[in-house]
Amino acid sequence: MAQIEKRISRYTVYEGEALNLYVDEVELPDGSHFKRELVDHPGGAGVAMEDEEGRFFLVTQFRYGENQVTLEYPAGHREAGEDPLVTARREIREETGWSGRDFEYLGRIAPTPAYDNEIIWFYYCRKDQFVGQHLDADEYLNVSRLSLEEIRDKILAGEIDDAKTVAMTFLLLEKKKKGQLE
C-alpha cells in the first residue's frame, strides 16, 4: 500500500504570478530522504457551455508552453482562495462574451500529480446572455462552437490534445449518454 511522504524542508526556486517552484526534501516510509520538485499552482476551472443548438463554446489560442495554437474549452486560473465556480463564471464571460446559467459541477482532474499540485475543476452550463468579451491583456483568442461529436472526432484525429478538453469531452459524452445531463 502507498505510504505518505513527510516534508522535511523546502527551498524556494521561483515565485511568480502564475506558479511557484519548490524543491522539497522528504522522508520516505523507510526513513530515507529524497528530493521532490514541486510546481505549486493555484488551479483553475474549465467550462463546457452549451448553446440551444447543442453546440459547445471553444476557444482557439496560442499556448506558449506547447508553442502551438490549441482548441479548448474556456478556462482560467483561480485567484487565491477563490471558489472554482466563481472562477468558472468569470472565465466563461471573459473569454466568450456570454454569461452562463444552470451551472453543474462535473468533476475535476489533476493533470500532472507527480510534480504539480494543480487541480482543474469542470463545470457545465447553458448559454445565457451576451455581456461582451473581456480578455486579459495577454489573451488573443477566437471563439467557435462545435457539437460534442465534432469535438470528440477532433480529439480522436489528434487535432485536440488539451488535457482538460479531452477529459471534459468524454465526461460530458458519458453523462449525457446516462441521462445525467439534459
User: Per the domain annotation, does 182 fall within a domain?
Assistant: no
Domains contained in the chain, number:
2
| pLDDT tens, residue by residue, 99-125 | 999 999 999 999 999 999 999 999 999
Pair (56, 145) in one structural domain:
yes
DSSP secondary structure of 116-179: B---EEEEEEEEEEE------TT--EEEEEEEHHHHHHHHHTTS---HHHHHHHHHHHHHHHTT
Q: What is the domain-level CATH number for residue 122?
A: 3.90.79.10
User: Per the domain annotation, does 145 fall within a domain?
Assistant: yes
Pair (135, 156) in one structural domain:
yes
The pLDDT assigned to 80 comes to 86
Predicted structure pTM score: 0.93
- What range does the domain containing 139 cover? 44-177
Q: Is there a contact between 112 and 133 (Cβ–Cβ < 8 Å)?
A: no
DSSP secondary structure of 22-40: EEEEEE-TTS-EEEEEEEE
